[in-house]
Chain A
């Protein structure tokens, strides 16, 4: 079937999806697999929208959240920081090493043209990372607008580790 016919047919496919009649479009769909696929999607979409979406009320989500015990936050020790050379915007890249019960992390905070990139390598079994996932080598990378937002959260079985970038004072004391 010619492409021009198909694009001309789209408005009529929407009519069909909404439950209106269009003999011409119905005839076309019967012999055009591509438009039949589009129609199937549109029908699903219109049906889904018409069925409506319902946000759970706040008290309902709060009650359900209370089922899950809050993870215990374990202490993080900053083992040390090193300046890792000048980066963009005259800011300096910083590398920091941390230790906590059940693991260690080494994180490079690197200034970019806009914001910061955070690259971490996590040692220890079973950790899940936020805001991005660990790869098989335990590495994770994400970007933030400001260094202060560069928080890495690690979670495993009821335990949570929160790693914030080293503050200026911590740097100065070294």
Chain B
């Protein structure tokens, strides 16, 4: 669970759900895992299975929460809506699994590079803010971030399965 909590919770949050709803998706996902444990034969398929399940649960929650389902015209094409939803869930899951490799690469990278990339991309800080919070000269930020991204990419490349290559 500790290994997959970020993956599952991130899927839910990235669909735009708030923390309460994301918590429900989290619970539903691990409940589904518990019910299907015997059916998941290869442990290496678990991240994919968890992220697809979480994405489905999240999209279902969003659909049920939105009023447009009451619309008779939409009910008529519910099959289409569900098919779209399944395609979105697949896409979200692929994205989430890939993102999890980047997250683990970032943690492994550590140090100044982790700080800088986190500030730039996760916290969306400006160069001005980074200059003062990380005590970095303005002119160094750009080249350093490129070097850090290259290191990050090497770690990602090392661990990422071929299946994600396409």
Name A's B-contacting residues (CB within 8 A). Answer: 10-11, 14, 17, 38, 41-42, 44-46, 48-57, 59-61, 63-65, 67-68
Interface pair A54/B122, CB less than 8 Å apart: no
- In Å, the complex CA distance between A67 and B149 comes to 39
Q: A49-B121, A51-B14 are contacts. A56–B150 as well, Cβ < 8 Å?
A: no
- In Å, the complex CA distance between A53 and B22 comes to 13
Interface pair A49/B1, CB less than 8 Å apart: no
B86: CB under 8 A from chain A? Answer: no
Partner of A54, one of B1, B22, B145: B22
Shortest CB distance B119–A (Å): 11
Shortest CB distance A158–B (Å): 11
Query: B20 — nearest CB in chain A belongs to which residue?
Result: A60
Query: A52 — nearest CB in chain B belongs to which residue?
Result: B122
- In Å, the complex CA distance between A29 and B76 comes to 46
- In Å, the complex CA distance between A51 and B13 comes to 10
Ordered by A's residue number, 13 sampled pairs between the chains whose C-beta atoms are within 8 Å are A14-B145, A14-B146, A41-B157, A45-B153, A50-B122, A51-B99, A54-B9, A56-B6, A56-B23, A60-B22, A64-B1, A64-B26, A68-B30
Secondary structure call for the B interface: helix
Interface pair B156/A57, CB less than 8 Å apart: no
Name B's A-contacting residues (CB within 8 A). Answer: 1-2, 5-6, 8-10, 12-14, 19, 22-23, 26-27, 30-31, 34, 95, 98-99, 102-103, 106, 117-118, 120-122, 124, 142-143, 145-146, 149-150, 152-153, 156-157
> Which B residues are in CB contact (< 8 Å) with A17?
149
Interface pair A45/B30, CB less than 8 Å apart: no
- In Å, the complex CA distance between A14 and B23 comes to 35
> Which A residues are in CB contact (< 8 Å) with B153?
38, 41-42, 45
> Which A residues are in CB contact (< 8 Å) with B6?
53-56
- In Å, the complex CA distance between A10 and B21 comes to 41
> Which A residues are in CB contact (< 8 Å) with B95?
48, 51
> Which A residues are in CB contact (< 8 Å) with B2?
61
Query: B1 — nearest CB in chain A belongs to which residue?
Result: A65
Apart from the given pairs A56-B8, A64-B27, 6 other A-B contacts in the complex at a CB distance below 8 Å: A48-B95, A49-B121, A49-B122, A56-B26, A67-B30, A68-B34
> Which A residues are in CB contact (< 8 Å) with B117?
49
> Which A residues are in CB contact (< 8 Å) with B145?
14
Which of A17, A41, A51, A53 has the most chain B CB atoms closer than 10 A to its own CB? A53
Partner of B98, one of A14, A44, A52, A59: A44
Interface pair B150/A10, CB less than 8 Å apart: yes
Partner of B10, one of A10, A46, A54: A54
Interface pair A48/B98, CB less than 8 Å apart: yes
Shortest CB distance B92–A (Å): 11
- In Å, the complex CA distance between A65 and B1 comes to 7
Shortest CB distance B126–A (Å): 13
